[in-house]
Amino acid sequence: MKTAIKFIILVITMALFVPLVGCNVEEEIGIPPIVNDDLYDNNTQIASVRSVKVISGRNEHTALEHWHHGFNTEFSFSGMSKSPEMVADQLSSFMFDDDFQIIIEGQLNGEPTYYFHKLIDGEWSKVLVVSNRERRERIFLTHGRPRGEWEEVRQVESFLDILKPGEYILEVGVWWGTRNAGSAYQNFFRFIK
């Protein structure tokens, strides 16, 4: 009997949550998995102030945003992360300029991570990763290798100085929310340096 009940719960769970895989919850379903936090709009449960943008050449560029994970005190929901190949055609390129800035506004649940993917021989390759852990910026050159083989770069004034000329997709990974409820988003920009 217990096995049958577990199977029924599994089937119901799959029916409810499998449609979330790979979708932008806000646009396609309308209810992202964030609940009960004063910083969130009670009707949509989305952070009322939440944005990632880039300033370059005195112009403001808005991210292509994609939800891929969320949690609250009762549930955890996972979707599919998108790759640069999946979003490249949806992004308009802009020129990298001396005033290049990444601006993040809203309630963060942790520090953002920055992934720079470069177009090399017609394919997008992750070339630079910048993460902040324990209030310390860590910069890695990937050299196209797995995570454990990345080279950590030290004593550089700005990680933007490391980028060589070329076409890039910047992916900003951000967790919005609190310890009790949050959602993870990928934010994509395309630029030429």
**Tens of pLDDT along the chain (193 residues)?**
544 444 333 333 333 333 333 333 333 333 333 333 444 444 344 455 789 999 999 999 999 999 999 888 888 888 899 999 999 999 999 999 999 999 999 988 889 999 999 999 999 999 999 998 777 788 999 988 888 999 999 878 888 888 999 999 999 999 998 888 888 999 999 999 9
How far apart are alpha carbons 50 and 62 in whole angstroms?
12
Domain boundaries, the chain: 2-192
Measured between alpha carbons, how far is 79 from 70 in angstroms, rounded to an integer? 9
Output b/e per residue, 36-58; b: 16+ Cβ within 10 A. Answer: ebeebeeeebbbeebebbbebee
pTM score of the predicted model = 0.75
